[in-house]
């Protein structure tokens, strides 16, 4: 068993996160032609493979891009000449260059003598060199810098640094340059040697600085360090170099490369490069946690500090109010009232919020990262919304308040609903009143819930219950039904289930039974001939028992009663057309009107003696019959085909007699 210390600085840095979101949003919605990235968008093979599967190819030369295609410029950036060549070829491009790298390009365009502390083979450095207005030199170490600055002629130079450069090497370079002194005739270093004067621009990425600093600190207290990232990633390599110089360490690309003997260490640190996807990091952590790990992470952060405010100083963990000064294509810029300018990624705003946002608006946000040298602060609106939301969640837990949210995910064992920007887990048993509820069908639904548990520790896990609210509403509805129910009352209900003997209908939290005989005036073989589950219907209360909680309902309507229709349409003595439905030994049943059958006794089938009913009639045969009796009390009708025949014969005879009369 070992303790796992997880770095607070994991996953994509601000620049990479912004680039990846812009790229995936664009290819999903805006472009149908060929799509490329100029070089790998970031140094991570998993991401490159994902993009390739979506039809985004990597090119290294401009002539590989087809006219009319779209090219994404990687976060490392390129020179202006590359952009010009793309335009000349009729290729559109989206510039995903990291803002920190863009700043170095701006400096390079204004300097006549530039020095870059970095790797000449790195694409970021190559792009900066391409934009340099004058002479440009690249140095990898303090020794190379000294050699360059000691070489005449001596003139003012500007020193910048690759954003992912090794922090300790850069700090040594800065310390050396800042020791220069101006004499009467020239500049000298700390050893008294003549040098070129240097203006230092600290352009190393704050994310790089934070990660390297934390890895260095972890390596001094841990027995082993795990660094996660692509082997081609410069910033990840430097994390590994820092860690391995101080303790045992491994550099892995995914969880499959984890050493098998981690159990021999007491404390293990974990960090990752700025181009490592969250999914990869999560897989590594989950795999390590399977070994009974006690985990500490950035969720151990003291949220009381997060609520501290300050108008003068900007520090990580503060809640700050800023005024919107610029609404850009990728971020919103805030004036914080001090020496720092705040930036919030545009992805943290909803479409509705962006449509209403304007310059001059005030925004509360949480300070995530601060770069004093750059004068910038990365802010998070979502983080602060989450903190405020958690306060409301805790209050709702105490008061029992009913909250609303939308089902965002269906996960193993339940649902995830976001309430006030806080993740709330709804166990399957608390998702509905019914155990067989299809959770997937609830995805995207707006639901009402009550908070039943808040784990206010490291994890800050929140558990809610939809069932609690539904049960409360059902109980109240049931009480109202039983308080006001009466025979003859009409309810609008929903068919809950069908059985061979009838249908159960919910009339407001209470189920009543509509017997199959009360579904239709016609005879039914099964209730499904009339109703379907989920159907909204109007029913009438026939009877009810408050003690047994049983309710008898009727679906058939009096207006559809065929006996009323019969009374309006026919009377005894009428000769009507009928259809033979069934043959019996004693007679035949015929249809009179829909829903009413009548009997023609064997003695009334013909005007001669009939031995067998089947000798005179067949099922489906249509004949005329005379109504000789209607009993509305017993709901029985007697008819006579014989009488109809005799009446017809009488009419024929009368016609014949009339035909023989002459004037």
Closest CA to 276 of 51, 9, 504: 9
Please state, in angstroms and rounded to a whole number, the distance separating the CA atoms of residues 235 and 271: 12
Please state, in angstroms and rounded to a whole number, the distance separating the CA atoms of residues 184 and 163: 36
Which residues are CB-neighbours of 163 under 8 A, at least 6 positions away? 98, 100, 101, 104, 124, 203, 204, 205, 208
Helices (H), 222-369: 234-244, 278-289, 303-306, 351-356
Kindly report the backbone phi and psi dihedral angles of residue 554, in degrees, each rounded to the nearest multiple of 5, phi listed first. -130, 135
Helix (H) / strand (E) element for 656: namely helix 641-659
Closest CA to 104 of 129, 82, 123, 81: 129
Closest CA to 274 of 245, 238, 246, 220: 238
Q: In what order do the strands lie in the sheet with 56-59?
A: 56-59, 35-38, 70-73, 92-95
Please state, in angstroms and rounded to a whole number, the distance separating the CA atoms of residues 542 and 530: 19
Please state, in angstroms and rounded to a whole number, the distance separating the CA atoms of residues 592 and 257: 84
* Rg of the chain over all Cα atoms, to the nearest angstrom: 42
The SS3 of residue 541 is: strand
Residues forming the active site: 124
């Amino acid at each position: 068993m070992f303790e796992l210390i997880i770095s607070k600085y994991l996953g994509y840095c601000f620049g990479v996160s912004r680039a990846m979101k812009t790229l995936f949003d664009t290819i999903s919605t805006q472009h149908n032609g060929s799509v490329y990235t100029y070089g790998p968008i970031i140094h991570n093979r998993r991401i490159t493979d994902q993009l390739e599967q979506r039809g985004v190819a990597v090119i290294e030369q401009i002539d590989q891009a087809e006219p009319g295609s779209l090219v994404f410029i990687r976060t490392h950036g390129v020179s202006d000449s590359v952009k010009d060549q793309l335009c000349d070829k009729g290729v559109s491009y989206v510039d995903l260059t990291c803002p920190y790298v863009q700043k170095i390009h701006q400096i390079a365009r204004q300097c006549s003598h530039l020095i870059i502390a970095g790797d000449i083979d790195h694409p970021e450095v190559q792009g900066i060199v391409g934009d340099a207005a004058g002479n440009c030199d690249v140095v990898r170490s303090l020794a190379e810098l000294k050699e360059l600055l000691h070489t005449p002629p001596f003139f003012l130079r500007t020193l910048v640094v690759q954003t992912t450069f090794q922090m300790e090497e850069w700090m040594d370079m800065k310390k050396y340059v800042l020791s220069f002194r101006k004499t009467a005739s020239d500049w000298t270093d700390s050893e008294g040697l003549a040098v070129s004067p240097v203006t230092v621009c600290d352009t190393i990425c704050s994310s790089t600085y934070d990660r390297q600093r934390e890895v260095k600190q972890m390596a001094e207290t841990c027995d082993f360090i795990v660094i996660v990232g692509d082997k081609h990633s410069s910033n990840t390599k430097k994390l590994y170099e820092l860690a391995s110089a101080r303790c045992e360490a491994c550099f892995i690309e995914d969880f499959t490369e984890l050493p098998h003997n981690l159990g021999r260490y007491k404390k293990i640190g974990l960090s990752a490069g700025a181009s490592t996807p969250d999914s990869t990091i999560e897989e590594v952590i989950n795999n390590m946690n399977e070994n009974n790990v006690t985990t500490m992470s950035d969720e151990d952060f003291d949220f009381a500090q997060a609520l501290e405010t300050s108008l003068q100083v900007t520090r990580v963990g503060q809640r700050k109010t800023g005024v919107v000064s610029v609404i850009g294509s990728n971020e919103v810029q805030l004036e914080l009232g001090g020496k720092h300018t705040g930036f919030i990624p545009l992805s943290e705003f909803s479409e509705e919020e962006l449509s209403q946002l304007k310059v001059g608006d005030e925004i509360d946000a949480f300070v995530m990262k601060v770069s004093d040298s750059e004068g910038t602060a990365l802010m998070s609106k979502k983080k602060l919304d989450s903190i405020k939301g958690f306060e409301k969640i805790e209050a709702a837990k105490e008061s029992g308040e009913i909250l609303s949210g939308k089902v965002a995910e269906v996960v193993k064992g339940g649902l995830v609903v976001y309430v006030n920007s806080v993740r709330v887990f709804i166990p399957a048993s608390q998702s509905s009143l019914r155990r067989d509820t299809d959770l997937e069908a609830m995805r995207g639904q707006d639901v009402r819930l009550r908070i039943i548990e808040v784990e206010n520790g490291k994890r800050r896990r929140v558990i809610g219950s939809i069932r609690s609210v539904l049960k409360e509403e059902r109980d109240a509805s049931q009480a109202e039904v039983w308080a006001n129910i009466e025979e003859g009352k009409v309810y609008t209900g929903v068919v809950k289930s069908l059985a061979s003997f009838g249908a159960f209908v919910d009339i407001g939290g209470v189920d009543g039974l509509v017997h199959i005989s009360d579904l239709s005036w016609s005879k039914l073989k099964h209730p499904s001939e009339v109703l379907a589950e989920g159907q909204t219907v109007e029913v009438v209360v026939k009877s009810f028992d408050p003690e047994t909680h049983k309710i008898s309902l009727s679906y058939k309507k009096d207006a559809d009663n065929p006996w009323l229709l019969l009374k309006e349409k026919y009377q005894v003595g009428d000769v009507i057309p009928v259809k033979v439905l069934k043959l019996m030994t004693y007679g035949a049943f015929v249809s009179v009107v829909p829903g009413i059958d009548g009997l023609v006794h064997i003695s009334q089938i013909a005007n001669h003696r009939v031995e067998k009913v089947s000798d005179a009639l067949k099922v489906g045969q249509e004949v005329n019959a005379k109504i000789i009796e209607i009993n509305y009390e017993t709901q029985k009708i007697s008819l006579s085909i014989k009488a109809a025949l005799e009446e017809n014969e009488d009419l024929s005879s009368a016609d014949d007699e009339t035909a023989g009369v002459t004037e």
